[in-house]
Structure 1
Amino acid sequence: MTQRICFQLQVKPDHIEAYTEAHAALWPDMLEALKATGWNNYSIFMRDDGLVIGYFETEDLQANLDGMAATEVNARWQAAMADHFVGIDRPADEAFNYLTEVFNLDDQLAKL
């Protein structure tokens, strides 16, 4: 069964431009690793103040996280992103603040 995952992070105000630029030209090997480890329909949104909301769909969240943790490119990416975030002292993908889904239109319609 597909899980919909949503998470939050906070980018430092003086890092918003660099964070945005990095994601506009994500490394090809990082893109391939995300897809290969099951991060589907993955999007990241950012508010003007640096609030980041990420969303993706997966069959197995822990397998996705473990799969990425086993890649060399993820270690490089996490190191490159490490200084961009407020209040975390570990790789960002280990510090996601997960949000609970409280409504989904398709789920509600399926119950009718």
Structure 2
Amino acid sequence: MIRKASIMKVYREHHEEYRRRHDELWPEMEQMLKEHGMLSYSIFLDTDTDTLFAYLEIEDEELWAKSADTETCRKWWDYMQDIMETNPDHSPVSQELKEVFHLEK
């Protein structure tokens, strides 16, 4: 299992809309994530800074990287681009974080 973390930004006035859209995650998006090796995915919001912290557990980096090229992922990016910081292709502006500590039971 591979742990990944990143940060993104959601526009302050859209915190609730961001939550609503994820509460109503498309079934095809969930299926695509699972097909590309997602084991667990959590997103947390710092309401003071509008920063989203995403934590993801995946099976394989190469398989996961292919998820960005799917039609479902591209449609999701288009759907989300009006409520968060995005790149010209509508992918979220995201900064991958480097793991510096991990502890398990």
Which TM class, normalised by the smaller chain length?
A: 0.7 to 0.9
1:49-102: CA deviations, max 9, x gaps?
Answer: 421011111232232121x2332211111100112223643312xx32111111
**Separation of aligned partners in 2, 1:42 and 1:58:** 9
Percent identity over the alignment is 32
Relative to the length of structure 2, the TM-score reads: 0.85
Alignment partner, residue 25 of structure 1: 24
Please provide the CA RMSD for this pair.
1.8
1:104 paired to 2:102: yes
- Aligned residue pairs total 103
Relative to the length of structure 1, the TM-score reads: 0.81
Alignment partner, residue 76 of structure 1: 75
Contact between 2:3 and 2:58, CA under 8 Å: does it hold in 1?
yes
- Structure 2 unpaired stretches of 5+: none
- Structure 1 unpaired stretches of 5+: none
Choose between structure 1 and 2: higher strand proportion: 2
CA deviation after TM superposition for structure 1 residue 20, in Å: 1.0
Secondary structure (helix, strand or coil) at the match of 1:89 reads coil
One-letter amino acid of the counterpart of residue 96, structure 2: Y
One-letter amino acid of the counterpart of residue 102, structure 2: N
Alignment partner, residue 59 of structure 2: 59
**Separation of aligned partners in 1, 2:61 and 2:52:** 19
Which of 80-89 and 3-12 deviates more? 80-89
